[in-house]
Amino acid sequence: MGVVIAAGTAVSTAANAKSADQVSGTYQFLPFDATVAVIARGSATGMNVLLFADGQALMNDSAIPYTGTAGAISQMDHEIASFPLSAGSRVEFYLRNTTGGALTTDYMLVAEPLE
């Protein structure tokens, strides 16, 4: 079973803006070797994600392909990508709105320990 290292519901991002780091203050540094899954759904097209590990871009302005404002978010239905990361890796996750209006995003970053 994975550990949720960051999550947010209806996180609003202003038009043409990038959010603050969504992992800051939680599991910023992974305590174990893990596969980290990015699970997200935006309220409309135009939301992108940026994921960095130890300063290297793993997802650089990648579009969130799932949209909607109702219902639950699930790993099976809304996983965008997953990456193996080493213990101690510094994880950073940002949302970026490419549209002219404010949009919201539901997201989770889940770390599944490697055996």
C-beta neighbour count of 92 within 10 angstroms: 18
**pLDDT at residue 45 above 90?**
yes
Tokens of 7: 């999550």
Q: Which residue stretches of the chain are H helix? A: 75-78
Model pLDDT, residue 25 = 83
Looking at residues 51-80, what average pLDDT do you find?
Answer: 91
**pTM for the model:** 0.93
Query: How far is Cα 12 from Cα 27, in angstroms, rounded to an integer?
Result: 22
Looking at residues 55-68, what average pLDDT do you find?
Answer: 93
Q: DSSP string spanning 80-102? A: EEEEEE-TTPBEEEEEEE-SSS-
**pLDDT at residue 63 above 90?**
yes
Compute the C-alpha angle 28/82/7, nearest 5°.
45
**pLDDT at residue 75 above 80?**
yes
Question: pLDDT grade, residue 102 (50/70/90)?
Answer: very high
